[in-house]
Amino acid sequence: GDSVTQMEGPVTLSEEAFLTINCTYTATGYPSLFWYVQYPGEGLQLLLKATKADDKGSNKGFEATYRKETTSFHLEKGSVQVSDSAVYFCALSRGSYIPTFGRGTSLIVHP
Amino acid sequence: NAGVMQNPRHLVRRRGQEARLRCSPMKGHSHVYWYRQLPEEGLKFMVYLQKENIIDESGMPKERFSAEFPKEGPSILRIQQVVRGDSAAYFCASSQSPDSSTDTQYFGPGTRLTVL
């Protein structure tokens, strides 16, 4: 079945550091890929998505590129802020109503 | 345009009591999904409903859990005779269509259930 694997957290960075959160997936066909962000005490918000190979999703300074050859969708940001502290979920969908979510990676950014 | 609304935000119940969680989808959305999030884990799908119909309840425990989405009013997730293992965050999401690859699911803020 489909699965999503994310790097274990927490990821702890200083403000303005470069961020990478790794995500790899297993799925047949060509799924759509997503990153969601969950701030403390809130629900998930869609951060970015990509629907086909080599697409780059971007939003709020975050980027992720859909790599079919490595089945990856790593999340990156050039300079993180304290306000980026949250839990980040990678997910995929193959047209069903049930996305497959990773376990989430907690990001902690210190001033 | 209000987002997905859930209430209560926090709910405390003693073992054996009933918990009722409410979800009002975004305006214009007729597809509602319930998920459960246990500490340090991702979201697990529980049930998918359209107005007055349960489409898929494959992720919902057979015992004690039920869900509805009436013609009028919010969707309700009901947990009878709660146990400590039911303590979790329960999230509702809604969408315009059921294809999550093209149509974003919008999530509510969640209800955090604590069973004493």
For the segment B41-73, what is each residue's pLDDT rounded down to a tens digit? 778 899 999 988 999 999 999 999 999 999 889
- What is the rounded distance in angstroms from the CA atom of residue A33 to the CA atom of residue A28? 13
Q: Choose from A44, A45, A46 for mutation: most chain B CBs within 10 A.
A: A44
**Residue A13 near residue B83, CB atoms below 8 Å:** no
**Residue A46 near residue A57, CB atoms below 8 Å:** no
Q: In A, which residues are within 8 Å of B95 by CB distance?
A: 97
pLDDT value at position B100? 65
Please give the structure tokens belonging to residue A86.
Answer: 């949250």
Residues of A with CB under 8 A from a CB of B: 31-32, 36, 41-46, 49, 51, 89, 93-99, 101-104
Rounded to the nearest 5°, which phi and psi values hold at A72?
A: -130, 160
Residue B65 makes CB contacts below 8 A (sequence gap 6+) with: B46, B77, B78, B79, B80
pLDDT above 90 (res A30):
no
- Give the minimum alpha-carbon distance from A14 to chain B in angstroms, rounded to a whole number: 23
Residue B2 makes CB contacts below 8 A (sequence gap 6+) with: B26, B27
pLDDT value at position B101? 64
pLDDT value at position A78? 96
pLDDT value at position A49? 93
Across the interface, do B98 and A97 touch by the CB < 8 Å criterion?
Answer: yes
CA distances for A51 relative to A56, A67, A109, angstroms: 9, 11, 30
- What is the rounded distance in angstroms from the CA atom of residue A90 to the CA atom of residue A25? 9
pLDDT digits (tens, 9 = 90+) for B5-54: 999 999 999 999 999 999 999 998 999 999 999 877 778 899 999 988 99
pLDDT value at position B65? 97
